[in-house]
């Protein structure tokens, strides 16, 4: 059952989210739907969260910001629950129309959370986690420092996990190969400061 429909059912039943709902409880509830949609998506979200939190800690970000990045990482792909299982299974072998639909998941995730007060601070991180340092990303083609910092962190973690644990097994690369790709993408696709911090955490 699509998550948007589940949300509407919950609200229609008088169980709508309010200011007292915690980000932790809402995230746990939404992640359970992500897990039902796809075990692979669920595992990916956990891995991206581990990497993102490690980067944020390495950069010395405040605890409150690390918390926001943790929850945003867990939900960075929540918009994919709106996609059909067929489309998810076919990725990345998508035609132009399918690719356009697939790319809408980032904004769809933000739309899901816009009426949940405790989630407002993490929406920009979710919506913009596919933006790229050189402006070649989506959905808004943001460039450089215009990309929310949390989204820049999640972008690196997401990219790395996609290299290490791709949807197609024969695409999988070693840690050393993945690190070389990160180096190559530094200053082009990703914030160089974040790439350095992440590679430093991987070295430990």
| Stretches in the chain below the pLDDT threshold 70 | 1-20, 167-172, 204
Per-residue pLDDT at 11: 44
Handedness of CA 38, 96, 75, 173 (dihedral sign): positive
- Residue among 55, 18, 48 at smallest CA distance from 31: 48
pLDDT of residue 79: 96
What is the signed CA dihedral for 167, 172, 176, 179, rounded to 10 degrees? -30
Q: Which pTM value belongs to this model?
A: 0.89
pLDDT of residue 140: 97
| pLDDT value for 170 | 52
Interatomic CA distance for residues 91 and 88, integer angstroms: 5
Task: Look at residue 15 in the predicted model and tell me its pLDDT.
Answer: 41
- Per DSSP, the residues of 63-113 read HHHHHHHHHHHHTTTGGGGGS-HHHHHHTTS--HHHHHHHHTHHHHHHHHH
Distance CA(182)–CA(192), nearest Å, equals 9
Q: CB 60: neighbour CB atoms within 10 A?
A: 8
Residue bearing tokens 């402006």: 135
pLDDT tens for 65-103 read 999 999 999 999 999 999 998 998 888 889 999 999 999
In a 13 Å sphere around the CA of 86, the CA atoms on its Cβ side amount to 2
pLDDT of 50 reads 97
CA dist 79 and 202 (Å) reads 28
């Amino acid at each position: 059952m699509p998550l948007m429909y589940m949300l509407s059912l919950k609200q229609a039943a008088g169980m709508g989210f309010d200011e007292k709902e915690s980000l932790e409880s809402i995230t746990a509830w939404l992640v359970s739907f992500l897990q039902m949609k796809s075990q692979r998506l669920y595992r990916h979200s956990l891995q991206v969260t581990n990497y993102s939190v490690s980067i944020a800690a390495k950069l010395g970000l405040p605890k409150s910001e690390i918390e926001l990045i943790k929850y945003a990482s867990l939900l960075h792909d929540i918009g994919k629950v709106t996609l059909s299982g067929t489309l998810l299974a076919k990725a990345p072998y998508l035609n132009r129309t399918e690719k356009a639909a697939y790319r809408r998941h980032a904004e769809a995730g933000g739309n899901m959370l816009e009426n949940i007060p405790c989630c407002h601070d993490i929406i920009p991180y979710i919506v913009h986690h596919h933006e790229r340092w050189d402006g070649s990303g989506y959905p808004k083609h943001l460039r450089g420092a215009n990309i929310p910092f949390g989204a820049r962190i999640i972008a690196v973690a997401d990219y790395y996990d996609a290299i290490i644990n791709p949807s197609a097994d024969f695409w999988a690369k070693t840690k050393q190969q993945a690190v070389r790709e990160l180096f190559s993408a530094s200053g082009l696709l990703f914030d160089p400061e974040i790439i350095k911090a992440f590679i430093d955490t991987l070295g430990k």
